[in-house]
Amino acid sequence: MAKESKKDNYGADSIQVLEGLEPVRKRPGMYIGTTGPDGLHHLITEIFDNSRDEAMGGFADHIEVALLPNNRIRVVDNGRGIPVDIHKTTKVSALETIMTVLHAGGKFGGDESGYKVSGGLHGVGASVVNALSVYTQVWVHKEGDIYTQEYSQGKKKYAVKKVGKTKEAGTIVAFEPDIIIFKEVKFDFNRVVNSLRQQAYLVKGLRITVIDAREAKDLEVENETTYLSALNLQVPSQTFFFENGLTSLVKFNNQILKPVHKNIFYVEKKVEGVESVEIALQYADDISSRILAFANNIYNPEHGTHVTGFKTALTRTLNSYAKKNNLTKDGEDSFTGDDALEGLTVIISVKLREIQFEGQTKAKLGSVEAQSAVSTVFGEAFASFLEENPEDARAIIMKVILAMKARKAAKAAKDSVLRKGALEGMTLPGKLADCQSNDASESELFIVEGDSAGGTAKTGRDRRIQAILPLRGKILNIERARLDRMLGSEQIKNLVLAFGTAIGDTFDITKLRYHKIILATDADVDGAHIRTLILTLLYRYFKPLIEGGYVYIAQPPLYKVKRGKEIMYFYNEEEKNKKLGKEIADLQEIEEIKNEEVQTPEAEGEETESTTKKAKISIQRYKGLGEMNADELWETTMDPENRILRQVNIDDAQDADKVFDMLMGTDVPSRKMFIQSNAKKATIDI
């Protein structure tokens, strides 16, 4: 027991009771994960999911999501419309209950009027969005009438009221996120499009329209207008509708890859305890795998029990088929899970009545019954697919055998590298100028381009916490290279040894020697290429370093400007022009005049003060880190007090994977098309 203190005022009065939606505003991260861009876009997901649940139940076939002026979002469906009659428990309209009370919705009832399958089983989605928005309004088209209610920060402005007649049915929800909660409210149209495209694949027969109407002038969101797309606005928009569902999604993800087999495997089946198990897969000539997992149409980036069941059945079925058909030699090792996954694109979708996610953001499925259901359904169907399609089966097995051989070769190469490092006293590469600190949390590794920049960085660094590793030119493009070939590259071997985490199946992030890995390359085309090659390596083989927030890109200045005794650094052209544009223009004009005019005796010695100051401006354009002296590099790029670092993150791992496949793979036409489509976005320094 703790000793009682006379100064201890901890009593009943210290316990704070939050009412209504106050807990959401007090701790928004508990409900949406983060108040950054991910959490902001999650608001759209929460409202969309309610409309999508209507479509999954067969009550809607068209959903429209519109980005509006003033940071507003509008989601429309043609479902049944939220109930507006009085709720027997809350004694207010069901609409008001759903929008202002946590854990209220059509997800809990067991009768046919509710949802058999739903992503939002917590019943907090709409009310959470409402709580975190400075403005929310709902219009319900139901049984010939239009009803509405408006809210601010989760509190109603008036009771639900009838505002007109309608021939439509459905719900319209408009909201504006609260700048107090999110600090910056900036929606990414492409991110919204990519997320909703996925949903169109997952719900057969559902049409999804996404509209970017943020630049539309004088746009009035009238409650009678169910769909903005009906107004024929001249704004960016995309509509998705896929009849073949998951099979189409597999094709979409493999569009820039070469399939190993012709037929795409597909199964959909209902089993006891699970409403639906749906899986589509195809192997491609690639060394990476792409696993997209969904539970009740909610994307699970951290996978879960359904993926565990799939992996178990996949490895077991491939091993069984290979041995049964004598495709592997007697005594040869069995395939491992990693062998079976190499080059695989698979979509796993399960639908359950009672579902358990780990957290409100639903990143990982926890429902135990999903594991056995997926394992059973997929195992039986995939075994039949292999028997019925012998050519496809042989191609798949040969692909997996190749992966197994590569794994063994990679292990031998990796063991050789690590063993060599230990025996020859080369645990750390010779070119690495290590820091003095053994505390990884304060240690930094600067990966620089070339010995020239390396020498400058070594001189200018803080030796206690900053290590320098210079690279000689461009490293190997590992996008199509296996681990054994990678570790034959001296440059990559140096990086692996410097990180200290090992690589492949022995990777251990707890052994990371530096908690800041900083890429410091030149601000030119070659520097950008080297940076891309390193990021490709990190994404494919050290992804936890990116996910953990350990990877950064240094931002050295582009310009050094001297004005008298004052020295200024600018990191981009816009910043320089904004600060010095008028002075530089005036200086150029003054210099031209001085070159043309002839001084008179009266004018001699009468140069104005402003002319004198402007004449002392000098501008230096840095082409590379090697052009800076050690003091300049420290002051601008390495000093933790003054430098600018950009943290590397993976906002959308699927898109990142596809971009790396496209830019660093073998599909030249797709790469050419990507470059042509995005050429105008590039900043070219000639």
Specify whether the CB–CB gap between 213 and 189 falls below 8 A: no
Higher per-residue confidence, 237 vs 9? 237
Please name which of 551, 546, 540, 552 lies closest in space to residue 661, comparing C-alpha atoms: 540
Quote the tokens at residue 684.
């070219």
User: Which pLDDT band, with edges at 50, 70 and 90, does 171 fall under?
Assistant: very high
Residues 6 or more apart whose CB falls under 8 angstroms from that of 508 comprise 501, 502
Of 12 and 625, the structure prediction assigns the larger pLDDT to 625
Q: Give the mean pLDDT of 405-430.
A: 65
Taken in order 382, 385, 390, 392, the sign of the CA dihedral is negative
Distances (CA, A) of 192 to 56, 161, 298: 20, 32, 15
Biggest CA–CA distance in the chain, Å, is 106
Judged by average pLDDT, the poorest of 117-121, 363-367, 511-515 is 117-121
Residue 98: pLDDT over 60: yes
558 to 100, 443, 551, 568: CA distances (angstroms): 52, 26, 22, 11
- What proportion of the chain, given as a percentage, has pLDDT over 70? 79
Q: How far is CA 159 from CA 80, 162, 360, in A?
A: 21, 10, 29
Has residue 345 got a pLDDT over 90?
A: yes
pLDDT of 123 higher than 50 = no
How confident is the model at residue 20, as a pLDDT?
65
417: three-class secondary structure by DSSP:
helix
Taking residues 272-287, what's their average pLDDT? 92
Question: Where are any strands of DSSP class E within 117-169?
Answer: 133-142, 145-152, 155-156, 161-165
pLDDT of 206 reads: 92
pLDDT over 90, % of the chain: 44
Question: Looking at residues 645-650, what average pLDDT do you find?
Answer: 86
Structure tokens at 88: 């027997």
Tell me the mean pLDDT in the region 546-564: 88
Please say whether the beta carbons of 67 and 43 come within 8 A. no
Q: What does pLDDT average to over the chain?
A: 82
Residue whose entry in the numeric block shows the structure tokens 């509008």: 74
pLDDT score recorded for residue 260: 95
What is the average per-residue pLDDT within 606-614? 42
Compute the distance between CA of residue 467 and CA of residue 443 in angstroms, rounded to an integer.
8
Q: What is the pLDDT of residue 576?
A: 81
pLDDT higher for 79 or 113?
A: 79
- What pLDDT score was predicted for residue 624? 74
What are residue 672's phi and psi, to 5 degrees?
-65, -45
Whole-number Å distance between alpha carbons of 241 and 600: 80
Separation between Cα atoms, residue 60 and residue 71, nearest integer Å: 27
Residue 588's pLDDT is 52
pLDDT given at position 158? 95
Higher pLDDT: 29 or 595? It is 29
Q: From residue 197, how far is each of 65, 249, 461, 685 by CA, in Å?
A: 12, 9, 47, 36
Residue 29, pLDDT score? 80
Beta bridge partners of 295: 298, 350
Average pLDDT over residues 460-470: 94
pLDDT band, residue 56 (cuts 50/70/90) = confident
- The tens digit of pLDDT for each residue in 146-160 reads 999 999 999 999 999
Q: Is the pLDDT of residue 272 over 60?
A: yes
Question: What's the pLDDT at 674?
Answer: 59
What's the average model confidence in pLDDT over 499-515? 88
Residues labelled as active-site residues: 449, 522, 524, 526
CATH 2.60.120.10 fits 428-556+622-650, yes or no: no
Question: The tokens of 129 are what?
Answer: 């969005």
- Read off the pLDDT of each residue in 265-274 and give the average, rounded to a whole number: 92
**Second CATH level (architecture) for the domain 22-217+226-240:** 2-Layer Sandwich (3.30)
Q: Tell me: pLDDT of 583 over 60.
A: yes
Q: Is the pLDDT of residue 145 over 50?
A: yes
The side-by-side arrangement of strands in the sheet containing 516-520 is: 466-471, 444-449, 516-520, 551-554, 645-647
Domain regions of the chain by residue span: 22-217+226-240, 246-408, 428-556+622-650, 654-686
Return the CATH fold of 246-408: Ribosomal Protein S5; domain 2 (3.30.230)
* Predicted confidence band of residue 610 (pLDDT cuts 50, 70, 90): very low
Q: How far is CA 574 from CA 202, 555, 683, in A?
A: 44, 15, 12
What is the structure's pLDDT at 347?
96
SS3 for 200?
A: helix
How does residue 220 score in pLDDT terms, banded at 50, 70 and 90?
A: low
Between residues 378 and 118, which one has the greater pLDDT? 378
